Amino acid sequence: MSNTPRKIKITDGSDPADDISFDAIRATENEDDDDTYERDREPINLDTPVGLADAVAAAEAVRLPDEEEAVEAEEPRVVAPAAPAVDPEEITRMKAEVAAANNNYLRAIADLQNFRRRGEEEKVRITRDANERLIKELLPVLDDFDLAVDAARKAESFEQLIGGVDAILRKFRDTLVKQGVVAIEAVGTKFDPDLHEAVMLDDTTDQEDETVTAELRKGYTLHDRVIRPTLVKVAQRS
């Protein structure tokens, strides 16, 4: 590229001391290997009475754009996907499935409620039948009490009354054993909080500490499960 300077004079026509001179460049550029072209920038003629601002504006108007000037990239546009086509038959099928699922849910709830109700009724029936069997076993004992009392009244004998009551007591205990009710042994055994309930301490006995010395009320188990602990007096010498 070759440059040829030319002098350009700018004046506003008022004061020659304010005149401005600069060089105009004649440029020749080679753009391609086979194609050479020359671009001349002609001098600006400012002989006419124009101002400095007009000259600068004219120079800016002929300035070539900078090839390396950054160009702002356009922001990418987000395109929303098109809504899928709705099949009326598919909607009808889905509604039918929802209705069927809801019916099955309601049917399951109803079955669960019926199951619970039948379970409660079965528990009541089992308890009623068990009580009925126990009462049937106890009714003969009650009959024996009636007979013993009537016999004692007619004979006016205290010994006969004692004998009759003792026989009835043995029969009653046998009936309870048949139902799984067993008396808890306490006197002479070591205190067991699972079987005994200590209500008194005995400091006058020669038994070892925590030994049951007296039974104040019998306790019972039903099928090896304590239904009433025995009230006992426990030895404690110290």
Q: What is the CATH number of the domain that holds 107?
A: 3.90.20.20
Instruction: Return the closest-CA partner of residue 182 out of 134, 230, 133, 222.
Output: 222
Based on the fold, state whether residues 141 and 96 are members of the same structural domain: yes
Based on the fold, state whether residues 152 and 187 are members of the same structural domain: no
Q: Does residue 203 belong to any structural domain of this protein?
A: yes
Ranges 161-165, 222-226, 231-235: which has the least confidence: 161-165
Instruction: Return the closest-CA partner of residue 26 out of 4, 49, 55, 48.
Output: 4
Based on the fold, state whether residues 30 and 15 are members of the same structural domain: yes
Based on the fold, state whether residues 116 and 184 are members of the same structural domain: no
* Number of structural domains found in the chain: 3
Q: Domain boundary at 135, 161, 179, which?
A: 179
| Phi, psi dihedrals of residue 235, rounded to the nearest 5° | -75, 135
Is a pLDDT exceeding 90 seen at residue 101?
Answer: yes
| Residue-number span of the structural domain to which 222 is assigned | 180-238
Q: Does residue 75 belong to any structural domain of this protein?
A: no
Can you tell me the distance from the alpha carbon of 120 to that of 143, in angstroms, rounded to the nearest whole number? 35
Based on the fold, state whether residues 103 and 139 are members of the same structural domain: yes
Is residue 25 within 8 Å of 44, Cβ to Cβ? Answer: no
| pLDDT (tens digit per residue) in 104-163 | 999 999 999 999 999 999 999 998 888 888 888 888 888 888 888 788 778 777 777 788
Q: Does residue 211 belong to any structural domain of this protein?
A: yes
